[in-house]
Structure 1
Amino acid sequence: MKLGLVIYSTDSETVWNAFRLGVFALKEGDVVAAFLLAKGVECSSLDNEKFKVTEAMDQFIAAGGRIQACGTCLKLRDSTDTGVCEISTMQDLYRIARDSDKVLTF
C-alpha cells in the first residue's frame, strides 16, 4: 500500500505518533511519504521530555520514508532549515495525494 501522511500540527504527541505510524507501515512493507504543511514545517522543534519528534523523524527516514516540507510555509516563517526534509511545493503534495492509496492528516 502507498500511504501519505500530511502533518500540519505542532502538537508534539500528535506529530510523534504520525511518524511512529509511518515507521510501522514502512516495516510492514508499505511505501510512505510525509508532507509537512502549515505549522507542520515546525515539527523539528517540537522535542520535549516525553515526545522525541526528531528521533521519530530520523527513524522514519532510516526505515525508508520520505519527508517533504512546504517551501511556501517555510518562507512565511522566515525559515529554510528543514533538517531532514526536502523543500517542496503544492505540486508535490498533490502527487502524494494522487498516488497514495490512503492519505491521513495529523
Structure 2
Amino acid sequence: MQFITEIYNNIPSMKIGIILSNTDPEVVWNALRFANTAMLEEHEVKVFLLGQGVEIERIKDEKFNVKEQLEKLNHLGGTMLACGTCIKSRNMHFEVCPISTMKDMLKMVIESDRVLTF
C-alpha cells in the first residue's frame, strides 16, 4: 500500500477542464464534487457550462445539494465559465460566472492536461 501512496504523491499538478452540459442533480453534484476534490489535491480546475449546463442555478434537490458544491468550488478558487449563446437561447439572466464563448471553451481544452465531460 505504501508503494501506491508514493506513486500518488509523485503525480504532478494537472490542469483539469470539465465540460458540464447536464442538469441531472446527481450527475452535476458528482461533477462538482470531483472538481472540488481535484482542487483540494492542488490541481487547477476550470468548469465550462454548456447547453443545459447553464441552468445549474435552477437545480434544486434535497439529496444532491448542487448549490453547496458550487459554493465550495468558488471558495476553493475554481474557475467557472458559461456559454453565452446557450444562456441567450434560454432568455436567462445569469450570475454564477462570466459569460463566455466557444473560443473560451477551446482555449480551456487546449490548456488542459485532461478534459472530462458530464
Measured in 1, the distance between the counterparts of 2:31 and 2:97 equals 15
**Structure 1: which 5+ residue stretches go unaligned?**
none
Partners of 2:84 and 2:21 lie apart in 1 by: 14
- When Rg is computed on C-alpha atoms for both structures, the one with the higher figure is 2
2:114 aligned with 1:102: yes
Write the distance in 2 (CA, Å) between the matches of 1:71 and 1:13: 24
Given the two structures, how large is their TM-score scaled by the length of structure 2? 0.86
- The residue aligned with 1:70 is 83
Q: Show the 5 A alignment for 1:18-97.
A: 18-81=31-94, 83-97=95-109
Identity of aligned residues (%): 45
Separation in structure 2 between the aligned mates of residue 42 and residue 99 of structure 1, nearest angstrom: 25
List structure 1 segments (4+ residues) > 3 angstroms apart after TM superposition: none
Deviation of residue 104 (structure 1)?
0.2
CA distance in 2: counterparts of 1:17 and 1:47, whole angstroms: 14
Q: Give CA deviations for 1:60-102 in whole Å, capped at 9, x if unaligned.
A: 1111101101000000000132x32111000110011000000
Give the root-mean-square deviation of aligned CA atoms. 0.7
Give the letter aligned to residue 105 of structure 1: T
Q: Under a length normalisation based on structure 1, what TM-score does the superposition of the two structures give?
A: 0.96
Residue type at the aligned position of 2:35:
G
* Partners of 1:47 and 1:28 in 2: CA distance: 28
Query: Paired residues, what number?
Result: 105
